[in-house]
Amino acid sequence: MGLVYRKADLNDLELLTETRVIVLRAANRLSDDTDMSVVGTASKAYYQQALSEGSHTAFLVFDGEKIIGTGGISYYNIMPTYHEPTGKRAYIMNMYTAPDYRRRGIAARMVRMLLEDAKEHGVSMVGLEATDMGRPLYESCGFEPLVSEMGLVIG
């Protein structure tokens, strides 16, 4: 049986929340006994609101009944600029492929699906934060490092 890619909906809240915790554990190298209950509760609330209002799209990848991949894209607006006259932006996040399924093009297909969704939303700029492992994938999809942006963690 082949892999099945599908857009998530409100019926997938538990599954989306579970995969979010898996992604965060992997990205932050957290042990299985690290308490993620607060993040899980907040993630479920986020998904419920964002999927309802259309400010987030998530895709899931299944091998039979087993979830083996996920990816999402959040939509937001900035003040329009010369280079981004629509002010519509998106941010890819929560990309994950189970270790036994990596290097099969699953994540690349997911990125293409997310970028197509962004085009349908009229987005003019898509950003993401890349891990060292993910950077070659995103570069192969045309992403480039941004040198003009800065950030500050508050609190």
CATH number of the domain enclosing 90: 3.40.630.30
- For residue 1, what pLDDT is reported? 59
The average pLDDT across 10-34 equals 93
Nearest-angstrom CA–CA distance, 45 and 39: 10
Q: Does any domain span residue 148?
A: no
Helices (runs of H) and strands (runs of E) counted in the chain: 4, 5
Q: How many domains are contained in the chain?
A: 1
Look at residue 87 and tell me whether its pLDDT is greater than 90: yes
Residue 139, φ and ψ in degrees, nearest 5: -65, -40
Q: Does any domain span residue 92?
A: yes
The average pLDDT across 18-39 equals 92
- For residue 133, what pLDDT is reported? 86
- For residue 118, what pLDDT is reported? 97
> For the whole model, what pTM was predicted?
0.90
Higher-scoring residue by pLDDT: 124, 94: 94
